[in-house]
Structure 1
């Protein structure tokens, strides 16, 4: 499983470069601060349209500006894909319309939101090589009992009788071993390392001296784990309790 670490990374720029070197990064459209170093030192990178953070602030995504940004970078050898613009709490018609407008020459990944229908998930999984899962609505917080129940229903809908998903899956804000170890994700992301590398209290009196070093410790602990190769249906009840 590929672990995409969200940027920008706090602390000194040289520490950020050391942290990102050889890793995989996610760069959000509203915060392109680290795209230069990401393009230079990361194994691969993906683009996030920033819809979630924009949504939480009550803003509106500049769709045309985002597409122009992707067009500028999509030929870079490290570029993997870009999340197709979406409306976090929007209806399926609105999100399908955004997908239809996405340029076919760009490697895009659609988002299925947990509040949307399982029929839409099955349709996306049949039409796209990769589908991203986004927590939303009453299932906004990954890892809760109700969230696991909904994820279990989603996995049951798109995995065959051997637990193999119909396409590659990406977990948005799900780069947590307690989550991805139980799901057949090809990749997942979070800003855990970038954000909490600046927190000395997280480590206590033996904290590494710089934010970059602390971010490295967090990322190394995450990357010591991998996702499940298949979806084990019998785990659903246990995880939802």
Structure 2
């Protein structure tokens, strides 16, 4: 499994500790540390930045600049793939239109399946691409909830064979949590956990607290990368809440 750590991470010295001889996830929305990925990583992948732009209230309308950036990145032999632009709150037709517009080969272009979309769309893109990205969205935006795992069970029924082995390579967007990816047969996953947590002093307690951000990055990376994804999918149990009238909620 490839563990992609999201950049940027500050300071740059901590970014080096997080991704040197490893794997980085570079967002078009925050590409200032692309040079770090090029210089020290075994490989890196390019995210389209749609989620960041959407959260900021300024969703991208024209993807020309992104594709120019992505094509430049793909000149490097250790650039693995790029995430095809997607519309976070769009419908399936919107996202299918963006797939059709992508100028990059399907060998290196990865479509996003948003978990609230139809299973028919999942089946269609999984059969058309060698790698897909799974994005938590809609009512399944909170990763690891009962509802999320119930949906993941349905998804894995589509993209795995009867024994749970994957039929397509899968990347888990924001799923680089050992409690999550250890249960799913992902080829790779990403998160910005290191970037978000190395500067939160109250999150680091005890007698042996790493004193620097660089050491914290190294500790977090080691803990995350000590775990691999599952080889095959085993349906996860989903608890049902009982309503006050006695039935399952």
State TM-score, norm by structure 1: 0.94
Structure 1 or 2, whichever has the larger Rg, is: 2
- Give the aligned partner of residue 85 of structure 1: 85
- Give the aligned partner of residue 225 of structure 2: 223
Deviates more, 1:48-57 or 1:1-10: 48-57
The superposition leaves residues 32-66 of structure 1 with CA deviations (integer Å, 9 ceiling, x where unpaired) of 11101110100100001111111112112241110
Which residues of structure 1 form unaligned runs of 5+? none
Please give the alpha-carbon distance, in whole angstroms, between the structure 2 residues aligned to 1:130 and 1:160: 16
SS at match of 1:60: coil
The superposition leaves residues 172-199 of structure 1 with CA deviations (integer Å, 9 ceiling, x where unpaired) of 0000011111101000000001221112
Alignment of 1:45-60 (within 5 A): 45-60=44-59
SS at match of 1:208: coil
- Give the aligned partner of residue 22 of structure 2: 23
Which residues of structure 2 form unaligned runs of 5+? 242-249
Deviates more, 1:28-37 or 1:103-112: 103-112
Q: Against the structure 1 CA distance between its residues 155 and 237, is the aligned structure 2 distance closer, same or farther, given a 3 Å change threshold?
A: same
SS at match of 2:29: coil
Please give the alpha-carbon distance, in whole angstroms, between the structure 1 residues aligned to 2:166 and 2:17: 35
Contact 1:149 1:240 in 2 (8 A): no
- Give the aligned partner of residue 66 of structure 2: 66
Please give the alpha-carbon distance, in whole angstroms, between the structure 2 residues aligned to 1:208 and 1:195: 16
Contact 1:146 1:240 in 2 (8 A): no
Q: Against the structure 1 CA distance between its residues 132 and 199, is the aligned structure 2 distance closer, same or farther, given a 3 Å change threshold?
A: same
Please give the alpha-carbon distance, in whole angstroms, between the structure 2 residues aligned to 1:128 and 1:68: 22
Q: Against the structure 1 CA distance between its residues 240 and 37, is the aligned structure 2 distance closer, same or farther, given a 3 Å change threshold?
A: farther
- Give the aligned partner of residue 150 of structure 2: 149
Deviates more, 1:158-167 or 1:44-53: 158-167
1:238 offset after TM fit, Å? 4.6
Q: How many residues align?
A: 238
- Give the aligned partner of residue 38 of structure 1: 37
- Give the aligned partner of residue 125 of structure 2: 124
Please give the alpha-carbon distance, in whole angstroms, between the structure 2 residues aligned to 1:201 and 1:43: 32
Alignment of 1:167-182 (within 5 A): 167-182=168-183
1:239 offset after TM fit, Å? 7.4
1:19 offset after TM fit, Å? 2.9
Please give the alpha-carbon distance, in whole angstroms, between the structure 2 residues aligned to 1:148 and 1:198: 31
RMSD: 1.5
1:145 offset after TM fit, Å? 0.8
